[in-house]
Amino acid sequence: QVQLVESGGGSVQSGGSLRLSCAGSGYRYGSYCMAWFRQAPGKEREGVAAIDSRGSTSYAEAVKGRFIISQDNARNTMYFLQMNSLKPEDTAMYYCAVEPRYTDPPGICTAQDPNDFGDWGQGTQVTVSS
């Protein structure tokens, strides 16, 4: 059974930093696409960043240059999102998601569509105050 558990959320002031972690268990995917999404109250879930099993990354324009997605290459079930220069508009519940791929390389991996991902964590809240 696939499980994803996010941690590291919290409350910070504008300009601060947080590092989110996502711990996966119950699977071993040789090829995959992993992504972070966020959802603010009353808004749709939106993609933040993605990383594939080869380490290729992509970012939403809103976070480019401020957020860094990474993974533990020794344990490819541990993922991170370093969030710097946080803004009040980054306030949201943050979710990690992973989807296996059946080709290697894994193909295009982005966080554009949450429907591309079948396994999700429960989320961790990030609140940025001005």
115 has pLDDT over 80: yes
Whole-angstrom CA distances from 93 to 6, 7, 55, 108 are 10, 11, 25, 25
What pLDDT, in 10s, does the model give residues 46-87? Answer: 999 999 999 999 999 999 999 999 999 887 899 999 999 999
Q: According to the model, what pLDDT value does residue 75 have?
A: 76
Q: According to the model, what pLDDT value does residue 123 have?
A: 98
34 has pLDDT over 80: yes
d(CA 36, CA 12): 19
104 has pLDDT over 90: no
Q: According to the model, what pLDDT value does residue 73 have?
A: 81
